[in-house]
């Protein structure tokens, strides 16, 4: 029988290995940026064309490579970081496996220009499908410029699995932000199709966070710093009001390497317990520094998942550090003492307090009881406070008051009787309010009633139903938007004065991806350059002047569904719009609005649940009520 096992050719083996490391353009961005950081660069440029499918180029001013190193760096398992097995357990650099450049060269066309610091001439190398096509001397700046062109040109099936340009660009921005956040002492720029998306100057960690996430975080983040012999934690967490319904602003770095750790994330959530809603996510950028011997970073090809030798200790320490920071900066819910603008218009505030009015007020017994020595605790019972209004009255009011002198009640029985009478009166007034809400509109139907501005109570033949107004409206909007996508587009309400919307680069890339679907669903917006969009119109049922809040809320909901559910993009968008535009709990509804919700809900194909599976209503039968009351 003939032998059937053969060694794979190098080019095929390299392509298989590349599948672990280079899954999309963003994977190459991560590896190339980390190599530039390891080279000691202080300025790093990332240049992208066609969302990385045509070009990913990284230019740094690091130490560069010699001619031999420039050729060797494309070989598999070639690295300058590891000499012995012990080096594997004391790694503090970013790239160390020696697979990144070999994998990139296996699935793309690569051009490398590099000049060693202090050398007069550099090296140019051109590689195509792992084969060196050209190697020669060249003039170039100190440092390294590496360009990856035509990703997956030799693996068409892999290229077909890449997402849209907007989706791939979003992944690239994510990887860029993770590296740039970890090294605020390095200047980073990101250019996409000749448009500069990021220009991040060297600075402190706080300056880098604000430059990436937005200026509005300047006064809304709290410093975290704890030091022990075992490990150190430093960074920033957002105040409770910065918590969002979606993930995205959570960054963990271990020895400056970005990691994903649900376990440590849970520690942060526990530190914020009872400060934020259970379904919200706080902002945090935390750096953990510890001996590399206590952590294994070689458990995953992308090195984003790691293992600690004592996870419980890490959990307790991170949770304690965040709790201490929040307590130290007195992060607790605060009252807003800002004056209501309506109060400013009142006569007592807007009109001057004349000398005549001052003199009159000073002579009242109430004023004297608070100003005379040792009188603040005394109340003149004989006056029964009948002149209290003198303190506020101008003496010119047309309103007349009828005062009745009453005896002070000393009898407990009289006091009890008065309390009882008050209770009866309040009950009768409450009964009259209920009667007003339940007046017959017809023999068989009662007017719906809103309960705690959250539920709608409506009578039916067999009893009554209790409707969750938000879940019900979400179901109504969801089916309306589905029909729009499948049949007729939702009409757009054009704005008299179009608004400009400034977004973070990652959000701008996300909106670019969604524009065709948003137009079907009633939004009219177009790119205006530099992460800015012009909003010319919104769906007709969105209140005018609320365009920016509507789109920002829609983005947050979309990111929430993107993380929580693996749904098609259009389905995520429809659910996001339904959730974002639905009537929120706490909103007062008129009788007509409540009746419209009831009518539209039961005209839906699935009226009993929201798109997320939540009950929209619960029915109560008369027979069940009879049992409850015995």
Report residue 216's pLDDT band, with 50, 70 and 90 as the boundaries.
confident
Q: CATH says 10-200 is which class?
A: alpha beta
Query: Residue 409: what pLDDT?
Result: 42
Report residue 345's pLDDT band, with 50, 70 and 90 as the boundaries.
low
Q: Whose CA is closest to 169, among 54, 59, 259, 20?
A: 54
In the predicted structure, residue 441 carries a pLDDT above the cut 90 = no
Q: Whose CA is closest to 237, among 335, 318, 336, 333?
A: 318
**E-strand spans in 430-512?**
449-451, 455-460, 463-468, 492-502
Give this prediction's pTM: 0.65
CA-CA-CA-CA dihedral for 90, 94, 99, 104, to nearest 10:
180
Please compute the mean of the pLDDT values over residues 495-504 and round it to a whole number: 81
According to DSSP, the β-strands at 284-290 and 250-254 are parallel
Query: Residue 411: what pLDDT?
Result: 44
In the predicted structure, residue 424 carries a pLDDT above the cut 50 = no
Report the CATH superfamily, name and number, of domain 467-588+590-617: MutL, C-terminal domain, regulatory subdomain (3.30.1370.100)
Give percent of the chain with pLDDT exceeding 90. 30
pLDDT tens column, 59-118: 999 999 999 888 888 886 666 655 565 555 556 666 555 577 888 888 899 999 999 988
Q: CATH says 205-328 is which class?
A: alpha beta
- Domain spans in the chain, listed from the N-terminal domain onward: 10-200, 205-328, 467-588+590-617
Tokens of residue 305, six digits: 């998942």
DSSP-derived letter for residue 77 is: T
**Residue written as tokens 């009219």?**
524
> Cα separation of 273 and 265, whole Å?
12
pLDDT tens column, 111-142: 999 999 889 999 999 999 888 899 999 999 99
Report residue 41's pLDDT band, with 50, 70 and 90 as the boundaries.
very high
Q: In sequence order, what are the residues at sequence separation of 6 or more whose Cβ sits closer than 8 angstroms to the Cβ of residue 456?
A: 448, 449, 450, 466, 467, 469, 472, 589, 594, 597, 598
DSSP string, 186-237: SEEEEEETTEEEEEE-S--HHHHHHHHH-GGGTTSEEEEEEE-SSEEEEEEE
Strand partners, 500: 534
Edge-to-edge strand order for the sheet containing 122-128? 131-138, 122-128, 109-115, 143-149, 55-60, 43-49, 187-192, 195-200
DSSP-derived letter for residue 585 is: T
**Lowest-confidence pick of 55-64, 134-143, 371-380:** 371-380
What rounded mean pLDDT belongs to the chain? Answer: 79
Contact in structure between 154 and 50 (CB atoms under 8 Å):
no
């Amino acid at each position: 029988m003939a032998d059937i096992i053969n060694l794979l050719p190098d080019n095929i083996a390299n392509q298989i290995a590349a599948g672990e490391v280079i899954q999309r353009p963003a994977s190459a961005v991560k590896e190339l940026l980390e190599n530039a950081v390891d080279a000691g660069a202080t300025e790093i440029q990332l240049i992208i064309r066609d969302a990385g499918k045509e070009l990913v180029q990284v230019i740094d001013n690091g130490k560069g490579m010699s001619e031999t190193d420039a050729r060797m760096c494309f070989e598999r398992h070639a690295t300058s970081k590891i000499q012995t097995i012990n080096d594997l357990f004391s790694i503090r650099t970013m790239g160390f496996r020696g697979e990144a450049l070999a994998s990139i060269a296996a699935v793309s066309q690569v051009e490398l220009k590099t000049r060693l610091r202090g050398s007069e001439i550099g090296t140019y190398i051109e590689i195509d499908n792992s084969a060196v096509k050209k190697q020669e001397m060249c003039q170039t700046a100190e440092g390294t410029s590496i360009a990856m062109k035509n990703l997956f040109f030799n693996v068409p099936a892999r290229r077909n699995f890449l997402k849209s340009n907007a989706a791939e660009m979003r992944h690239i921005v994510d990887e860029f932000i993770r590296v740039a956040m970890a090294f605020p002492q390095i200047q980073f720029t990101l250019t996409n199709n000749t448009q500069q998306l990021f220009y991040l100057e060297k600075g402190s960690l706080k300056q880098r966070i604000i430059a990436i996430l937005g200026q509005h975080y300047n006064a809304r983040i709290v410093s975290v710093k704890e030091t022990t012999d075992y490990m150190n934690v430093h960074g920033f967490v957002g105040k409770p009001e910065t918590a969002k319904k979606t993930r995205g602003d959570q960054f963990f770095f271990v020895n400056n390497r970005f990691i994903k750790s649900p376990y440590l994330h849970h520690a942060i959530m526990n530190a914020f317990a009872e400060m934020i809603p259970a379904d919200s996510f706080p902002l945090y950028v935390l750096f953990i520094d510890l001996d590399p011997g206590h952590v294994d970073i070689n458990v995953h090809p992308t090195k984003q998942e790691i293992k600690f030798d004592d996870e419980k200790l890490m959990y307790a320490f991170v949770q304690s550090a965040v709790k201490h920071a929040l307590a130290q900066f007195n992060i607790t819910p605060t009252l807003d003492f800002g004056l209501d603008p309506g109060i400013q218009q009142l006569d007592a505030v807007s009109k001057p307090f004349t000398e005549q009015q001052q003199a009159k007020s000073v002579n009242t017994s109430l004023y004297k009881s608070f100003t005379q020595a040792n009188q603040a605790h005394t109340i003149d019972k004989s006056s029964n406070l009948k002149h209290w209004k003198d303190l506020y009255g101008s003496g010119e009011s047309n309103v007349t008051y009828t005062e009745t002198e009453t005896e002070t009640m000393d009898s407990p029985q009289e006091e009890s009787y008065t309390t009882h009478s008050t209770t009866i009166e309040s009950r009768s007034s409450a009964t009259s309010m209920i009667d007003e809400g339940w007046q017959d509109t017809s023999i068989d139907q009662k007017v719906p009633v809103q309960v705690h501005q959250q539920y709608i109570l409506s009578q039916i033949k067999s009893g009554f139903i209790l409707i969750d107004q938000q879940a019900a409206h979400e179901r109504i909007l969801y089916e309306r938007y589905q029909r729009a996508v499948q049949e007729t587009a939702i009409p757009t309400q054009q704005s008299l004065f179009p608004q400009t919307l400034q977004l973070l680069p990652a959000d701008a890339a996300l909106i670019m991806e969604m524009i065709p679907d948003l137009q079907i669903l009633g939004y009219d917006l177009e790119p205006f350059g530099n992460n800015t969009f012009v909003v010319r119109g919104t769906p007709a049922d969105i209140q005018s002047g609320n365009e920016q809040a509507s789109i920002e809320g829609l983005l947050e909901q979309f990111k929430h569904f993107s993380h929580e559910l693996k749904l098609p993009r259009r389905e995520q968008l429809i659910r996001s719009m339904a959730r974002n535009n639905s009537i929120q709990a706490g909103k007062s509804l008129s009788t007509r609005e409540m009746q419209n919700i009831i009518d539209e809900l039961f005209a839906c194909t699935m009226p009993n649940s929201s798109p997320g599976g939540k009950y929209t209503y619960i029915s109560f039968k008369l027979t069940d009520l009879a049992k409850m009351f015995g």
